[in-house]
Amino acid sequence: MKTQILLFMSTLLLTLVGCAIGNSVESYQPIIDSNSVIGQPIETPSAATEAIKPPFTLAQCLDIALKNNPDIVGGGFDVLTTQAQKNIAVSQKLPVIGLGTRYTHFSDNQRLLQPRYNGEPGVFGDDVFAGDIVFSMPIFTAGRIENEIKATDLLSQSAVHSLTRTRHELVFNLSQVFYNILAQRHIIESQKFSKKALEEHKKRVGNLINVQRASKVDLLRTEVRLADIEQGLVREKNVMSILRRVLVNFMGFSKPGQEVDIIGELQLTAVDAKLHESISRAYSQRTDYLSAEKQVQAQEKRLDIARAGRWPIISSVASYGMRSAANPDFRPSGANSSDDVGFVGFSLNIPLYEGGAISARVRKERSKLNSMRQQLRKLKLQLDLDVETAILNINSSNERVVATNKSIEQAKESLRIERSKYELGKGSITDVLDAQSALLITQTIYYRALSDYNTAVAQWHLAIGVEK
């Protein structure tokens, strides 16, 4: 019998090793920079990669951000966490083999082993040492383990989708800041051009005053408008500094006050953004929606697990070990103070009464499932709104770009005419200053509209679940 028990335990151990090899899970590797360590951000742009040097293009900024941004790196660890949870769930269906030892001191002498036949002499003592190899393996769990594995696998897929959505959002946010910086650069140039033009106009006014063809009031008005341009230039430069620091933040650089140089042009690139086609693409591609679907499916498995609580659990159990009495008080002639003992069997656990806990768990999981389904419906409505809003923004900003582009040339011509009229004594300084202000406003609106258009295109890509 002892030989059979040892053979049974050896077979189970080999089975365990084979199952462990057959159920290995290839782990996800977080997307990190090859020159950095997880959790240690790149300190300077030059450390990001040897091949990339500033000024950075949009593609280069995105490449660095997708490797170094803490949200992306942290999302990779979230995926690893869910995969570890899946491994834990898979391990529940595999055998468990453990080694246990114990020492027990009794107030009264105890028999070392139970008698195996009538009249068998036994060893008695109050100090007993025991060591066992214990085996257990579930045979029937009413789908608890299988559903737990499926649930954790769905949650792992959900985490991957969530990480992808985080990437898409980072691409959009960084692209928006990048386009704003390009637009802000043109706005600052327009402010500088206006300042230079007013300074030249101020000199002309001074010359006209010397020949008594203009009054000092015209000079004062020009100086007031020039001061307004100068403070506006300071404001726009401050906005630029903030945008550049936001860009650095998205790229994951940690040095305070750090800025990076960028290169690029704002372009009016046409896109085929059709509403119904875009919504259809969003349903199949948007990873936050796919992630929510996986979470709902995982919760359905959780509900099945709760329902399985009403069913019995059947497990196979086995144990083999040694018992030893230290300094036995009674040992018959020929009896050993140590011996081995083992058993093989099955256990059945039937839930009869748990105070309503099983029903409560079922209600809890069902209510949570219904809530998650409503959250999924809400996300679907938000998805429709996001797509439609992005397309409206594309159309609106495109029309603004076309309209203001024509207005710039008209504003330049208007300024030239008003200057000529003023120098000929047929116009007022107010008309000149108003024309100068109109040109600056038109240029500012144009570049911001161009930035808004590129941002709207990026917003459309985000809404339909495309990383561009």
Please, is 439 exposed, middle or buried when counting C-beta atoms within 10 Å of its C-beta (0-12, 13-18, 19+)? buried
pLDDT at residue number 250: 92
Place of tokens 């919504």: 279
> Which H helix or E strand runs over 378?
helix 357-423
Q: Average pLDDT in the 96-113 region?
A: 90
Instruction: Compute the distance between CA of residue 246 and CA of residue 73 in angstroms, rounded to an integer.
Output: 19
Summary count for the chain: helices (H), strands (E): 10, 4
- The three-state secondary structure class of 51 is coil
Q: What is the tens place of the pLDDT at every residue in 122-161? A: 888 889 999 999 999 999 999 999 999 999 999 999 999 9
pLDDT at residue number 397: 94
Q: At what angle do helices 275-285 and 287-307 cross, to 10 degrees?
A: 50
pLDDT at residue number 119: 79
Q: What is the tens place of the pLDDT at every residue in 192-223? A: 888 888 888 788 888 888 877 777 888 888 88
Place of tokens 């024309």: 435
Residue 415 forms part of a structural domain? yes
pLDDT at residue number 52: 52
439: containing domain:
48-68+142-311+357-468
Residue 450 forms part of a structural domain? yes
Residue 389 forms part of a structural domain? yes
Residue 453 forms part of a structural domain? yes
Residue 459 forms part of a structural domain? yes
Instruction: Compute the distance between CA of residue 157 and CA of residue 108 in angstroms, rounded to an integer.
Output: 59
Structure tokens at 367: 């209510």
Residue 8 forms part of a structural domain? no
Q: Average pLDDT in the 220-248 region?
A: 91
Model confidence pTM above 0.85:
no
Judge whether residue 2 has pLDDT over 80. no
Residue 267 forms part of a structural domain? yes
- The three-state secondary structure class of 132 is strand
Q: What is the tens place of the pLDDT at every residue in 294-346? A: 999 999 999 999 999 999 999 999 999 998 988 887 778 777 888 889 999 99
Q: Average pLDDT in the 59-72 region?
A: 93
Residue 119 forms part of a structural domain? no
Q: Higher pLDDT residue, 178 or 13?
A: 178
Q: Higher pLDDT residue, 420 or 317?
A: 317
Judge whether residue 353 has pLDDT over 80. yes
Instruction: Compute the distance between CA of residue 247 and CA of residue 56 in angstroms, rounded to an integer.
Output: 11
pLDDT at residue number 53: 62
Kindly report the average pLDDT of the chain as a whole number: 85
Judge whether residue 28 has pLDDT over 70. no
pLDDT at residue number 32: 36
Name the band, by pLDDT with cuts 50, 70 and 90, for residue 164.
Answer: very high
The number of domains in the chain is: 1
Sign of CA dihedral 409, 412, 416, 417: positive
The enclosing domain of 406 has a CATH number of 1.20.1600.10
